[in-house]
Amino acid sequence: MNLGKMDVFEFKDAKCNPDIIHPYTQNLKNNSVPIVIDNGSYMSRAGWSTSEAPVLQFKNIIAKPRKERSKKDTIEPIQIPQLQVGNDILNIEAVRFQLKTQFDRNVVTHFEAQEHLFDYTFTHLGIDTENSVNHPLFLTEAFLNPNTSRQLMSELLFECYGIPGVVYGIDSLLSYHYTQAKPLENALIINLGYQTCHVIPVLGNKTVFENTRRLNIGGWNVITFLHRILQLKYPAHAAAVTLSRAEELLHTICVIASDYKEEMKRWTDNEYYEKHIKKIQLPFSSASTSSALTLEQQKERKRELARRLTEINARKREERLAEDQEKLRQLLEIQEIIDFGADKDEVDNILAEYQLRNVNDLQKSILNLNMKIEKIKQKITAANNTEDLEEPPVKQAKLSKMVFENESALHSFLDNIKKMKQDILNKKLMRKQRKQDIFKRRTAAGQERMRIISQLARKEKGNDDFGMRDEDWDIYKTISKDGGDSDSDVENEKLLEFEEILRTHDPQEFDEHANLGELHQLHVGIERYRAPELIFKPYMSGSPEAGLSEVIGYVLSLFGDEDQLKLAANVVVTGGLANLKGLRERLLVDLISIRPFRSEVNVSIMGDSSLTAWYGARQFVRSGEFKKCLLTKNMFEEYGPEYFKTHVASNIYYPTPNESLIDVDV
């Protein structure tokens, strides 16, 4: 069937596109149009309040390469490694270990990183005014953001960027109140974020802060969980299964089961498994396969290398020979001159030129050279002979097919080999079994071992004749870890040999291994359900927290019956994970099971859930509210750095109790 191939899914490995610096029009500049930033722990979305959609969308991360620790005496200027921010990072996996974010869970704590990210945002929005960003700002923050974090944020915005004013708001509340035409005044908002999930009750358009609950688990946890299960399932491909790929899988094939146990039961059925399994092709290079494919070629290459080496050696020898012969010729010439009877000074001069002390030395060198030349000549002839000897392939005989009289002879031969191979494999298996048994109590092997050990340990004075016979010592072999004998090298070699014989004579046997593509496939079945299930069962990763449905039930239980009805009638889901398939059905099933019989339960998912917070914030800015809630620089200086103005979609303001702080009269 061709269908099987069609089902294979491939990673897109989407890369970021670097952001352009957007035009800073006169209109934006002169009217000081407000900037809207949804500063989420996964992504930041930024734009003007007049723009149709966020102008910038990037992951809230920076990659800061480590400074090279240069030596002090180098004169060259120290190269400062380039800091990469947001969409500058084209391949996240390449800089995975240098990534930093300003977030700790869902709260901004690392303001140096935040500063880099604001730099990036404002630069790419095109702002070029000197010494200030002359636009009021709307910024989202965490639910119940600690005062410390907000204070540092305000300091950064007012003192570093000189913005005229800021309004803080909560992302999920903005999505609820400002993106719907007519939001009901009672709702149970479920926000599924990257780091945390919130269950936020809203009664009469007022957020009930004290009954809100936060699950410290989010998309990030699901991604790492999926990443780890797949790595453990495919240890050979551990490096190829990256976090970005796990993220891609989460958003493409993961589903939330409406009944997890039922779903699991279905997966035990083989047919269901085959039908619903997702096969994912990992990239692989077929180049590496060729080496494994033909042993012949490998050998040929080796022989080629050897030949080249001998050639080089031969050439070197010949060069040396020629050199020596030349020197000999020169020395013989000097000898001749001397023999002719030249005067002493001239002889000395010539000798000095050749670094010889006297005539004796000369004769000695001539003798030495003669011997050397003779030796090299011998070597060359020897090398030529061995080359001839080496040429005939020694090992080829072993590999080439043996010739058999007929088919049946071949078959019986192969069967024999197979049987021998199986024998060795069986032996290995037996040994492994024994090895396991020996360490378990209540197995025959284990008890026998204990019996022998206790016998050995028993001290009997007088009649200890242990060690008199050589066989006595064998007892230590039987109680050793390996339980007698271990897998020997000889056996392993035999096994390899048998496999080789089978490969040459019966290649079909090994055909299944030939398809490398299949070896590089991930089969993702139950994992598709298992990973997102983490939100409902945090104990799967060892967290003691209650799951999402349980928390919803808990939050509802904090209200009176009447309010419970109002809340359950309007459950709204937002956040990046809200788009997961099956989420709505699951929540509905779980809610119905905890609600009174036939009471009203509605679950709705906000469309395009990862951007609704930004649209909500923009809507807020466009409404009249924005001017009223703006925290201006004057207020910041007057009321203290942690002060901010509240509104329907904001946190509440609790001044930090501290004697040193001036009491604020609001």
Partner 1 sequence: MSVEEQKLEQQPVFKASSFQQNKSTKKKNVWKGLKQIITSEKALPWPDEVVHYSSINAPPSFKPPEKFSDLSGLPAPYTDPQTRLRFANKDEYATIVDLPMDITAGYLALRGATSIVG
Q: Residue 220 or residue 554: which is nearer to partner 1 going by CB?
A: 554
By CB under 8 A, the residues from 84 to 113 that bind partner 1 are 104-105, 107, 109-112
Among 327, 537, 622, 633, contact with partner 1 (rule: CB under 8 A): 537
Q: Does 148 bind partner 1 (CB under 8 A)?
A: yes
Distance CA 192, CA 172 (A): 9
Q: Residue 216 or residue 290: which is nearer to partner 1 going by CB?
A: 216
By CB under 8 A, the residues from 155 to 174 that bind partner 1 are 155-156, 159-162
Q: Does 240 bind partner 1 (CB under 8 A)?
A: no
Q: Which stretch binds partner 1 (CB under 8 A): 281-289, 373-381, 550-558, 562-570?
A: 550-558
Structure tokens at 478: 């039987």
Q: Does 267 bind partner 1 (CB under 8 A)?
A: yes
Task: List the Cα angle 128/131/133 in 5-degree steps.
Answer: 60
Q: Does 143 bind partner 1 (CB under 8 A)?
A: yes
* CB of residue 560 to partner 1, shortest distance in Å: 19
Q: Does 212 bind partner 1 (CB under 8 A)?
A: yes
Phi and psi, residue 356, nearest 5°? -120, 150
Q: Does 387 bind partner 1 (CB under 8 A)?
A: no
User: CA separation (Å) from 58 to 62, 218, 357, 489?
Assistant: 11, 19, 83, 56
Distance CA 201, CA 564 (A): 10
* CB of residue 437 to partner 1, shortest distance in Å: 12
Among 294, 436, 593, 623, contact with partner 1 (rule: CB under 8 A): 436
Q: Residue 31 or residue 436: which is nearer to partner 1 going by CB?
A: 436
Q: Which stretch binds partner 1 (CB under 8 A): 291-299, 402-410, 527-535, 593-601?
A: 527-535
Q: Does 231 bind partner 1 (CB under 8 A)?
A: yes
Would you say 531 and 254 are in contact if contact means Cβ atoms under 8 Å apart? Answer: yes
Among 216, 294, 330, 480, contact with partner 1 (rule: CB under 8 A): 216
Structure tokens at 522: 């991930």
Pairing of strands 571-574, 603-605: parallel
* CB of residue 585 to partner 1, shortest distance in Å: 20
Among 128, 311, 391, 472, contact with partner 1 (rule: CB under 8 A): 128
Among 149, 175, 521, 564, contact with partner 1 (rule: CB under 8 A): 149
Distance CA 41, CA 108 (A): 8
Q: Residue 89 or residue 215: which is nearer to partner 1 going by CB?
A: 215
Q: Does 438 bind partner 1 (CB under 8 A)?
A: no
Structure tokens at 589: 């099933």
Torsion 215-188-57-229 (CA) sign: positive
Residue 204: closest CA among 178, 181, 179, 177: 177
* CB of residue 513 to partner 1, shortest distance in Å: 19
User: CA separation (Å) from 321 to 368, 379, 556?
Assistant: 13, 11, 99
Q: Which stretch binds partner 1 (CB under 8 A): 32-40, 493-501, 540-548, 580-588?
A: 540-548
HSE-CB for 441 with a 13 A CA cutoff? 0
* Alpha helices (runs of H) in 126-254, residue ranges in sequence order: 147-155, 171-179, 219-233, 243-252
By CB under 8 A, the residues from 29 to 88 that bind partner 1 are 77-78, 80
DSSP per-residue codes, 464-496: --TTSSGGGGHHHHHHSTT-S----HHHHHHHH
Among 215, 246, 568, 578, contact with partner 1 (rule: CB under 8 A): 215
By CB under 8 A, the residues from 293 to 332 that bind partner 1 are none
Helix (H, G, I), strand (E, B) or coil at 138: strand
Q: Which residues contact 370 (CB under 8 A, 6 or more apart)?
A: 328
* CB of residue 236 to partner 1, shortest distance in Å: 11
